[in-house]
Amino acid sequence: MRSFAPFALLSAALTTLWLTPPQEPVLGLSHGEFARGAVGAAVALWLMLSGFARAGPAGAARVLAGAAFWALSGLALVGVYAYRFEFSEIADRVMEELGPSVARVGAGGEVVIRRRLGGEFIVPGKVNGRPVSFVFDTGASSVVLTAEDAAAAGVAVAADDFFINVTTANGATTAAAARLDRISVGGIVIRSVPALVAQKGTLEQSLLGMTYLERLKSFAVESGKLVLRGK
């Protein structure tokens, strides 16, 4: 009971702070004042329940240690509350890094994609309605599809179409020219996009190059996020 009551008090205070908008007072107090009061009340409750006055010299150290524990616990809870938005941001980044890349659509229709821990932007899109994960690459003059992504999207090329010289991370090779009916990223759809199809085994992931990017209203990297805006 001695441990549960202070913990319940701190939990109730934290929940109240979490549910109350930052600009609104709690019981006439600012959020900081309310949090400090809750910590003080939890410590006082612990001392009262521990019978500090009856503990005597032998138990005083134990009671004070318990009070210090609850004070630190309260400060930790207040810290979690104060940095709740930052913690939420970190949690979102960890979850997105562990899972597939996500394209978030903003209020103005812009598409926002977080940078991966490896430094690159992986853009989840669709080619002719089929899912394709692109590497954002302003150094690529054209959209380039892997042979597997092209086949999945219904882009047919023949063996003698591979005559365009290109350079990839695996060295020089040839690619085939194609025209994609549409590429969509979030709500941004670009139609009739010139592209290249790489030979099988020469490209690990499709590239979102300039034949798509130059037809956007804008694209930029802002605070570690890729922001695409359609026309």
Q: What is the pLDDT of residues 44-61, one digit of tens each?
A: 666 665 655 455 555 556
The whole-number pLDDT of residue 126 equals 95
pLDDT in tens, 209-226: 999 999 999 999 988 889
- If one compares 141 and 28, the residue with the highest pLDDT of the two is 141
List the chain domain ranges.
4-82, 98-229
Find out whether 227 and 155 touch, Cβ atoms under 8 Å. no
Cβ-count burial of 2 within 10 angstroms (0-12 exposed, 13-18 middle, 19+ buried)? middle
What fold is seen in the domain 98-229?
Cathepsin D, subunit A; domain 1 (2.40.70)
What kind and span of H or E run contains 24?
A: none
Q: For residue 92, is pLDDT > 90?
A: no
Distance CA 164, CA 14 (A): 63
Closest C-alpha among 45, 49, 33 to residue 9: 45
Q: What is the pTM of this model?
A: 0.59
Q: Give the residues across from 198 on adjacent strands.
A: 175
**Which residues are CB-neighbours of 114 under 8 A, at least 6 positions away?**
93, 96, 101, 102, 121, 224, 225, 226
Say whether 113 sits in a helix, a strand or coil: strand
Closest C-alpha among 202, 203, 229, 200 to residue 217: 229
Q: For residue 77, is pLDDT > 70?
A: no
pLDDT in tens, 152-161: 999 999 888 8
Q: For residue 190, is pLDDT > 80?
A: yes
Q: For residue 65, is pLDDT > 80?
A: no
Distance CA 141, CA 209 (A): 6
The whole-number pLDDT of residue 71 equals 61
The whole-number pLDDT of residue 53 equals 47
